[in-house]
């Protein structure tokens, strides 16, 4: 039984200081499933005190001890994959097979990747007569979103544990159950009390209290650019480190001579995956102007085969978006695309055919989009693809970089060498060439208003470390 009305603090499930709760809505049915407790500044103070005490000892543990702990967490995590998948599916709407394999699987992937990094990471380096020691930054506040719950939790918690940090996690109030399951996993694996603490709550209350707290040394935040700016402002007076992974409006350049059917089909499918609720979704497909009609026809074929429906029904491709607020925002942006003159190729406003409830969005494609249109500028965070035309390769790169965001980019070309050349010109933290998948050992993060800092692999571990120079040490 998942504990939603208590918080995990100092190794135990405890009642909130002030009793307050909110319903958790199933986005497929629009019905309340249960309530989750909401925390306050007093709960944050209690968790920070526990984490501060635990840091004194946990930060001094050996690499071998932390390797053994991560290995045990992975062992326990594997036994709860179906529970995590079911919780994610019910709370944010991902189709159940996708939630079990990809949503829960992403968490396992980050844990496994970080274990391998920890085994060989060099925490000390000799430089002339000095030794540079990399040590845990301290107590970390973590604020995570609802769209990939376990992905974002584990890519913060795993490196923090590996570094020797202690932490307080505030997951999204829309997806609390998977986070509580993760707390159960850490408890069963033997994470020392106070090292990991969990408080459910709202951003303006718990998130703000964490960002401002003088005893929190670092904030790792994933969410919207608007919320990230607020976190940074609140953190500034205490001069804590702030690592942010924020919004995106990622370009997908398909060059002249690329395998058009393959590139467009995979690009549309990736855009629609997770109902478009991914910060790195390839939402702006940039194609040769001369190929616009051909691209639109291929894209429409993919949209017509994309089935929005019950996350637990066989044959469902995409589920609902997470809540009414997101649905309303997406509908307004779809209407803006129509009003501003883009060509509606597939989908459009309203619920998909055959559905009369749930926060479902019709898989939607716009062609003949220009980069000054609202749907090309704003992050929609739904299954809505915009197709833009470029005069040539240079124009495609210009359009790709003409955005306040810089999280991800995608390039398909006639050869790998040409794709790589274009990819090097893109102002984005991650660029995927020729349909390549993401590599969890490589850094993930953004340029510009997509954030700062990096997650995943060795670079993710280093976010949680301070560099200390100890001078006067003989090289011998």
Rounded CA separation 338/130 (Å): 63
Q: What value, to the nearest 5°, has the Cα angle with vertex 183 and ends 177 and 188? A: 130
- Could you tell me which residues are beta bridge partners of residue 207? none
Main-chain phi, psi angles of 425, to 5 degrees:
-90, -5
Six token digits for residue 221: 């935040």
Main-chain phi, psi angles of 142, to 5 degrees:
-120, 130
Six token digits for residue 138: 């301290």
Six token digits for residue 453: 């800092």
CB 83 within 8 A of CB 149: no
Six token digits for residue 103: 């949503």
How is residue 434 annotated by DSSP? T
**To which residue do tokens 């060498």 refer?**
417
Rounded CA separation 296/343 (Å): 10
How is residue 463 annotated by DSSP? T
Neighbouring CB atoms inside 10 A of 259's CB total 15
Catalytic positions, written as ranges: 245, 279
Q: Is 335 helix (H, G, I), strand (E, B) or coil?
A: helix
Q: Tell me the helix, strand and coil percentages in the chain, rounded to 5.
A: 45, 20, 35
């Amino acid at each position: 039984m998942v504990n939603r009305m208590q918080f995990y603090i100092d190794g135990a499930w405890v009642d909130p200081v002030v009793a307050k709760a909110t319903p958790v809505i199933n986005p497929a049915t629009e019905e309340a499933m249960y309530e989750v407790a909401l925390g306050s500044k007093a709960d944050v103070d209690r968790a920070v005190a526990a984490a501060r005490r635990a840091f004194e000892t946990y930060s001094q543990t050996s690499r071998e001890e932390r390797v053994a702990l991560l290995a045990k967490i992975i062992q326990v995590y594997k036994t709860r994959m179906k529970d995590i998948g079911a919780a994610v599916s019910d709370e944010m709407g991902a189709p159940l097979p996708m939630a079990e394999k990809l949503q829960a699987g992403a968490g396992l992937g980050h844990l496994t990747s970080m274990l391998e990094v920890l085994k060989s990471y060099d925490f000390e380096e000799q430089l002339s007569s000095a030794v540079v020691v990399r040590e845990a930054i301290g107590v970390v506040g973590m604020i995570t979103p609802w769209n990939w719950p376990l992905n974002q939790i584990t890519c913060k918690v795993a490196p923090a544990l590996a570094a020797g940090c202690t932490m307080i996690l505030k997951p999204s109030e829309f997806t609390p159950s998977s986070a509580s399951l993760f707390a159960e996993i850490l408890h069963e694996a033997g994470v020392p009390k106070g090292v990991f603490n969990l408080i459910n709550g709202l951003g303006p209350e718990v998130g703000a209290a964490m960002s401002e707290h003088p005893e929190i040394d670092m904030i790792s935040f994933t969410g919207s650019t608007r919320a990230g700016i607020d976190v940074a402002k609140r953190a500034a007076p205490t001069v804590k480190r702030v690592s942010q992974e924020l919004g995106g409006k990622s370009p997908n350049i398909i060059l002249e001579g690329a395998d058009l059917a393959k590139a467009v089909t995979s690009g549309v499918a990736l855009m629609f995956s997770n109902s478009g609720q991914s910060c790195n979704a390839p939402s702006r497909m940039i194609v040769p102007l001369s190929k616009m009609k051909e691209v639109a026809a291929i894209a429409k074929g993919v949209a017509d085969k994309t089935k929005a429906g019950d996350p637990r029904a066989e044959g469902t491709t995409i589920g609902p978006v997470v809540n009414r607020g997101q649905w309303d925002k997406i509908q307004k942006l779809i209407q803006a695309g129509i009003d501003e003159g883009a060509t509606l190729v597939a989908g459009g406003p309203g619920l998909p055919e055959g559905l009369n409830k749930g926060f479902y969005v019709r898989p939607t494609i716009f062609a003949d989009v220009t980069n000054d249109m609202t749907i090309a500028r704003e992050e929609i965070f739904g299954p809505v693809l915009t197709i833009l035309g470029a005069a040539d390769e240079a124009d495609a790169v210009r359009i790709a970089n003409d955005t306040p965001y810089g999280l991800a980019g995608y390039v398909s070309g006639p050869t790998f060498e040409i794709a790589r050349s274009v990819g090097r010109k893109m102002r984005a933290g991650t660029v995927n060439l020729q349909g390549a998948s993401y590599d969890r050992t490589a850094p993930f993060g953004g340029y510009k208003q997509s954030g700062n800092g990096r997650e995943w692999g060795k670079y993710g571990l280093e976010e949680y470390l301070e560099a200390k120079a100890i001078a006067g040490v003989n090289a011998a």
